Amino acid sequence: MRSSLFFFLVATLVGALFFFGIRWVANDYLFFAGYTVLQFIVLATAWNILGGYCGYVNFGSAAFFAVGAYSSVALHKLAAGVDRYFPEALVGLAKIVLPLNIPTLIIFGGICSGLIGLGTGYLTLRLRGAFFAIATLALAVVLQTLIVNWDFVGGSRGAYIIRPQSVPIIGSYIQYLFLIMVVLSVLALTVARMIERSRLGYGFATIRDDELAAEACGVPTLRLKLIATTISGALMGMAGAPFPYYIGYLEPGSAFGLAYAVNSIAMPMIGGTTSWVGPLVGALLLGIIQQVATVTISSAVNLLIVGLLLVGFVIVAPKGIVGLVQDFMRARASDEGRPTWRSRLAIFANMRPGAR
Amino acid sequence: MAEPLLQVDNLGKRFGGFVALDGINLSVTQGERLGLIGPNGSGKSTLVNCMCGTLQNETGSVRFDGHVVDGLAAHQRTHRGMARSFQLPRPFTTLSVAENLRVPLLYTANTRRGTHLSPAEITARCEELTGLVGLAAKADKLPRDLTQVEMRKLELARAMAAEPKLLIADEAMAGLSQSEVGDIVELLIKLNERGVTIILIEHIMRAVMSFSQRLVVLVSGKKIADGKPDDVVNNPEVIGAYLGQ
Amino acid sequence: MQAELLINAIIAGLLLGGFYAAVTVGISISFGILDIVNIAHPAFIILGSYIAYICNQTFGVDPILTAIIALPAFYALGAAVYQVYYASFEKRGQDALRGLAFFFGLLFVTEVMLILVFGVDYRYVQAAYIEYTWHISFMDIPFRMLVPCVMGLLMVGLLQLFLSRTFTGRAIMAVSQDQLALQLMAADPIKVKRTAFAIAIATASIAGALLIVIQPVEPSVGREYIGRVFAICVLGGLQSLPGTVIAAMLLGVVESITATFYGPSWAPAVSFGFLLLTLAFRPAGLLGR
């Protein structure tokens, strides 16, 4: 617990430095770009809790993300039309409660997506891994169809969200959103790291390796898988909740974009799936490459880069970047035998000696 | 007489049209060393799977430690004190030997009422177990770095880490050399002397004979003999079943 | 009026079903029989569509004829993909997770390449029969649907004959069910699997041509088919081709009725909803044990 708290504080500090660094440069574009990268950190970390730790591939990340985003849209619309949607007796109360701030929306989005994750788990967890993966693909399309046909949140036309020009203390709204994403990323990373070091983390690893043997060791595999789908789904929803305010205009095509599904798989796979560091490294690397490529080349090309990197990495370096670095460090450590900054870094990053 | 630790009544299981188990009755008393033999396809593994909850039986019932365990999932039976090893070792491949043992310690031993193991105690028990089975030097290695016999030992140690009342060892010695078989039998007897009841499913007759206090024979999903090892192997029906096939 | 609408919807659904069978048969072989989760299959189908489109635009060749000519190329592509898959994942005993990610990446790369080359505009082909519709009293049978249906069923029928009557076909069936029988037949399992996977990809050539006959195509259309093909494959009991045809017909009819009475925007949810429910309640398929 104490180490997690320490980790949380350190990560928050890094995030804050990051924030003030960009603010010092005083360029709003950097905040826009940074927000996207941070959002991918949350998505990749969330995906990895189910995909990397438990070995269950989720192709439907976009759906969980979109559920978070659309839960915000729904609440926004509800707040805008309080007089229409509430009986007169409740209008007064609704007016006090409803104009929700972003943190509340994030919690609400997390709950919605978490429930969807739990439901998906219940429906599919008795299935082999491949069927689970296909079912998540199906889930994404079913949810997208529901949203397209749900006029209240804009249907296929999409919905406009007018965001305030500024917020108190921080000033510009995009900086506020950026800061919120920093906090979310730190939260996601802390959760992932806590899971890794806990009993739950061992349980997840046994599910990944051999479910039958896990059961024989007393691991309640079904319950653990439900926990994993719920946490993973909830974090993805939380990443999606502020998205309508970021983009200003949300339509099903952008919320359910394939880019989310691909990136949230590619980032952990390229970074490495066994520890929380992998998704972080992958998200930073791919996120920044894509931001640069979008500006300098085109958005189609940057998706091509992601796809090629994904295919290349799973073939050539199945352990990802973290795996490559670990192998390098192990080779160096066996040369010297005394603790170095590298081995301290390894301990901090929670790379268990056996973890590959 | 005290109630048996494990009581199997009229257990039946079918796969499609194939009758894998046909009304098996079996009781095992506390502290016993039971051998279970039978030709290939006689239903031994199905019986193990039904007792441990990997498969659910269709008819009959399993009582363990005074409670009916039918319908309980495998992990729940493990929590009640039933542990098994697998015919083909199934280690957790991305976890080290010590971490493999840590799993049942965390999920079974540590969840029993009145027990709470501190991290230090868990580490101590891991060390004790690796010492017991002779894997102390390999505690930090991954399963893929182990030899065949070490893999079998890990499999047994992991079952032991759940601190069971009953250990079901499913062909723990297949593919081992004679001296390695001797090692494993010795290990199993050592465990039994600590108070663990053991059912050994085995093909290697020498091992079964030196280990078992009682011997049960399955043929085509039916129990055809149950008694002292020497009597059983001289039973004409058993000899017929083995030689006649 | 309602009854006529319903009958027309059922006819359209059955025609669609024949085409769906052609789209799914590749998955029934690669996923159902070989246990390779090739989610990139729809991308190969779209590739087939674009090849048919190019030949139709530049030389005026019939799309289906193009597909038949392109079969060897697709077969070779399939064999190459299997070789990479085998060397990187099956041989190393790598977990299914990475194999899945590999095919997902492949799907994605193919789609983005097509977008880069052809853009996101809808493309279509021209052939004499596409415009023609057969009217029998109130029933409409558009040839645009009939030809793909007949060709699709023909292809699935030929494959079924191949799998049940030839030595190679039986070896392919044995790969999934009985490794021992395969050894007794003295067949190299890897070679058998490669052949089977290559055949599965080859079917994508035909299916792609049929797709572009039915509807205009753009690169992301393939994604709609991922859920559909797996739904049909699972419903049909994974490895049975007759099961695949029945499931394809069923899904075609249900989708067509949904589109007629509730509007086309609900149609995708039908197949995927079907898939989710099948997976949850009847994973062995409709015809399964």
Contact predicate A214/A203, CB 8 Å: yes
Contact list in A for residue C106 (CB cut-off 8 A) is 311
Of A337-346, B135-144, C42-51, C189-198, the poorest mean pLDDT is in: A337-346
The answer to whether position A355 is within a domain reads no
pLDDT exceeds 60 at position C286: no
CB contact under 8 A, A356 and B142: yes
Task: Give this complex's ipTM.
Answer: 0.87
Nearest-CB residue to C227 (from A138, A146, A208): A138
Domain ranges in chain B are 6-243
Rounded Cα distance between C26 and C239, Å, is: 11
CB contact under 8 A, A219 and B107: yes
CB contact under 8 A, A354 and B108: no
pLDDT exceeds 50 at position A1: yes
DSSP-assigned states of every residue in B121-142: HHHHHHHHHHHHHT-GGGTTS-
Overall average pLDDT of the B47-61 stretch: 88
Contact predicate A229/A50, CB 8 Å: yes
Residue of chain A minimizing CA distance to C262 = A149
Contact predicate B73/B53, CB 8 Å: yes
Where b means 16+ CB within 10 Å and e means fewer, C169-179 reads bbbbbbbbeee
Please give the single-letter amino acid code of residue B1: M
Q: How far is residue C193 from each of residues B144, C82, C175, C200, C207, measured CA to CA in Å?
A: 27, 8, 7, 10, 21
Structural domain range at position A218: 2-348
Residue A270 CA to its chain's centroid (Å): 15
Q: What percentage of chain C's residues is helix, strand, coil (to nearest 5)?
A: 80, 5, 20
Overall average pLDDT of the C2-17 stretch: 89
The DSSP H or E segment spanning B23 is: strand B18-28
Overall average pLDDT of the C75-93 stretch: 88
Nearest-CB residue to A315 (from C84, C96, C269): C84
**How many domains would you assign to chain A?**
1
pLDDT-derived band at A346, boundaries 50, 70, 90? low
DSSP-assigned states of every residue in A59-128: S-HHHHHHHHHHHHHHHHHHHHTHHHHS-HHHHHHHHHH-S--HHHHHHHHHHHHHHHHHHHHHHHTTS-
pLDDT in tens, A264-296: 999 999 999 888 999 999 999 999 888 888 777
Please give the single-letter amino acid code of residue A108: F
pLDDT in tens, C112-169: 899 889 988 898 888 878 888 888 877 788 888 899 999 999 999 999 999 989 888 8
Phi-psi region of B88 (alpha: psi -120 to 50; beta: other; left: phi over 0): beta
pLDDT-derived band at B9, boundaries 50, 70, 90? confident
Please check whether residue B103 touches A, CB under 8 A: yes
Contact predicate A189/A4, CB 8 Å: no
pLDDT at A337: 53
- CATH architecture type of domain C2-281: Orthogonal Bundle (1.10)
pLDDT in tens, C184-196: 777 788 888 999 9
Using DSSP's 3-state secondary structure scheme, residue B201 falls into strand
Residue of chain A minimizing CA distance to C94 = A318
pLDDT at A354: 39
> Which of A244, A240, A252 has its CA nearest to residue A145?
A252
Contact list in A for residue B83 (CB cut-off 8 A) is 216
Q: Name which residue leads in pLDDT, B35 or B114.
A: B35
Positive or negative torsion for Cα C255, C261, C264, C265:
negative
Contact predicate B52/B74, CB 8 Å: yes
Rounded Cα distance between B135 and B147, Å, is: 11
pLDDT at C289: 41
Subunits with at least 3 CB pairs below 8 A relative to chain C?
A: A
Using DSSP's 3-state secondary structure scheme, residue C122 falls into coil
**Fold adopted by B6-243:** Rossmann fold (3.40.50)
Rounded Cα distance between A72 and A78, Å, is: 10
pLDDT exceeds 80 at position B113: no
Domain ranges in chain C are 2-281
Overall average pLDDT of the C92-99 stretch: 72
- The bridge status of strand B222-227 relative to strand B214-219 is antiparallel
CB contact under 8 A, B75 and A274: no
CB contact under 8 A, C96 and A208: no
* Residue C134, beta-bridge partner list: C141
pLDDT at A355: 42
Distance from the A139 Cα atom to the nearest Cα atom in chain C, whole angstroms:
7
Using DSSP's 3-state secondary structure scheme, residue C45 falls into helix
Rounded Cα distance between B231 and B229, Å, is: 6
Overall average pLDDT of the B1-29 stretch: 83
Rounded Cα distance between C114 and B85, Å, is: 52
The answer to whether position A158 is within a domain reads yes
pLDDT-derived band at A26, boundaries 50, 70, 90? low
pLDDT-derived band at C1, boundaries 50, 70, 90? low
> Which of A271, A227, A356 has its CA nearest to residue B92?
A356
* Residue B82, beta-bridge partner list: B166
CB contact under 8 A, A213 and B90: yes
Round the average pLDDT of chain A to a whole number and report it: 83
Please check whether residue A123 touches C, CB under 8 A: yes
pLDDT-derived band at B23, boundaries 50, 70, 90? confident
> Which of C96, C89, C107, C95 has its CA nearest to residue C43?
C107
Contact predicate A148/A155, CB 8 Å: yes
pLDDT-derived band at A96, boundaries 50, 70, 90? low
